Amino acid sequence: MTMRVGVVGGGQLARMMIAPAVELGLEIRVLAEQEGMSASLAATQVGDYLDLETVRAFARDVDVLTFDHEHVPQPVLRALVEEGVAVHPGPDALQFAQDKLVMRARLAELGMPQPDWAAVASADELQAFLDDHGGRAVVKTPRGGYDGKGVRVVSAATEAEDWFTALAEDARGGALLAEELVDFTRELAQQVARRPSGQIVAYPVVETVQRDGVCAEVVAPAPRATGRLAAEAERIGLTIAEGLGVTGMLAVELFETADERVLVNELAMRPHNSGHWTQDGAVTGQFEQHLRAVLDLPLGDARPREAWSVMINVLGGPADGSLEDRFAAVMADHPRAKIHTYGKAPRPGRKVGHVTVVGDDLDDVAYEARAAAAHFAD
């Protein structure tokens, strides 16, 4: 029987599951937030993922429910699981991606290396954390942040005053997350896939370059990653996937510090921007791997196809037209560049596509990927 995967959310991550689903011969259905989204080709329903009835109706005819994002509320997820729906990743795992305070506490239990952190329920508590950490810290809203949203570097508790005010008005209450401002030398990311029945595979650790809080570039594998560093990143990824019971793809964003430590920054329990290189650069792309994992099918080979892959995000896009208007120029100059666009209108800072180049020589590959992506810039 054809296996049916239901994806909640119609963004580019759902869109990029379409290609491997079609090739494998899986049926993919998408519950989109609105018409005309990135994954509209597979959208079978438009509706509100906050609403149990809507998600329940969508889940009725699929073999597994998975996600384009981590925003489906716990009560919705738990109700579905109780009713027998296969939900992957499940609510027990997803809570750690939905609430950064819960995540920090659990990672501490697992002994994972992470920045100093504290739950701060008031300006006074944040000030105390600042006083203990050289007067600067990162403050994060535990829920709802992404791509740099809900994250602030502060040097005085007053700079988070609005967030404390919002917290006081939020029925869920709680605290903000304060973190040590890590003096990192670069950022890394570790991708891991895990099946409900336990099989787990790790991709090579990659280097990510963020700009304005948004992933801009990924180099895979991470250059100058010593065996020790790569092994440590893999150990962290595998430990978290198992410790948190993640199913599907897990991305662990990491800081590498000047004193050669690796600290966990953020988690994502889905295909992630730092893994887009795998579509063209690995034997099994992360979107295929995610589909296999959530269906509890044996996982694919996670090894790179060639020595180096460089992925460059297209952010914003040309204000004077569409990405397609630049295809002729990009393709003419860069015949080996793999172009991916998301069917989204250009808007400053918005992720509208990415370009990956794969090859033997890192300098060539990086130069070509950047040059190709630059054609799409405004």
- Binding positions: 100, 140, 179-182, 187, 265-266
Pairwise CA distance, residues 118 & 177, whole Å = 6
Q: Any contact of residue 44 with a copy of itself (CB under 8 A)?
A: no
Q: Any contact of residue 318 with a copy of itself (CB under 8 A)?
A: no
The DSSP element (H or E) to which 289 belongs, if any, is helix 286-294
The two beta strands, 4-8 and 27-32, are parallel
Query: For a copy of itself, which stretch binds (CB under 8 A), given 136-144, 218-226, 235-243, 300-308?
Result: 300-308
CA 305 to chain centroid: 22
Q: How many residues bind a copy of itself, per CB under 8 A?
A: 45
Q: Any contact of residue 20 with a copy of itself (CB under 8 A)?
A: yes
Q: Which of residues 24-43 bind a copy of itself (CB under 8 A)?
A: 24-26, 41-42
Axis crossing angle, helix 91-98 with helix 100-109, rounded to the nearest 10? 110
Tokens for 236?
Answer: 């962290």
Tokens for 342?
Answer: 């998301």
Binding string to a copy of itself for residues 348 to 377, with x set by CB under 8 A, is what?
-----x----x-------------------
Nearer to a copy of itself, 153 or 329 (CB): 329
Nearer to a copy of itself, 105 or 377 (CB): 377
Query: For a copy of itself, which stretch binds (CB under 8 A), given 180-188, 205-213, 217-225, 331-339?
Result: 331-339
CB neighbourhood size of 298 (10 A): 10
* Residue in 255, 300, 261, 248 with CA at minimum distance from that of residue 279: 300
Query: For a copy of itself, which stretch binds (CB under 8 A), given 208-216, 240-248, 252-260, 332-340?
Result: 332-340
How many helices and strands (H and E) does the chain possess? 12, 17
Query: For a copy of itself, which stretch binds (CB under 8 A), given 19-27, 148-156, 208-216, 256-264?
Result: 19-27
* Residue in 297, 251, 286 with CA at minimum distance from that of residue 63: 297
Nearest approach in angstroms of CB 46 to a copy of itself is 17
Strand locations in the chain (E): 4-8, 27-32, 43-46, 64-67, 117-120, 137-140, 151-154, 176-180, 184-194, 200-202, 206-211, 214-220, 248-257, 262-268, 308-315, 338-341, 351-359
Nearest approach in angstroms of CB 178 to a copy of itself is 41
* Residue in 241, 278, 230 with CA at minimum distance from that of residue 19: 278
Q: Any contact of residue 209 with a copy of itself (CB under 8 A)?
A: no
* Residue in 293, 257, 298 with CA at minimum distance from that of residue 275: 293
Binding-site annotation, residues for ATP: 100, 140, 179-182, 187, 265-266
Q: Any contact of residue 249 with a copy of itself (CB under 8 A)?
A: no
Query: For a copy of itself, which stretch binds (CB under 8 A), given 135-143, 224-232, 234-242, 340-348?
Result: 340-348
Nearest approach in angstroms of CB 142 to a copy of itself is 35
Pairwise CA distance, residues 279 & 233, whole Å = 21
Nearer to a copy of itself, 17 or 123 (CB): 17
Q: Any contact of residue 3 with a copy of itself (CB under 8 A)?
A: yes
Pairwise CA distance, residues 172 & 107, whole Å = 22
Q: Which of 66, 208, 284, 286 binds a copy of itself (CB under 8 A)?
A: 284
| Interface with a copy of itself (CB under 8 A) | 1-3, 15-16, 18-20, 22-26, 41-42, 279, 283-284, 292, 297-301, 303, 305-306, 322-325, 327-328, 331-332, 335-336, 338-343, 353, 358
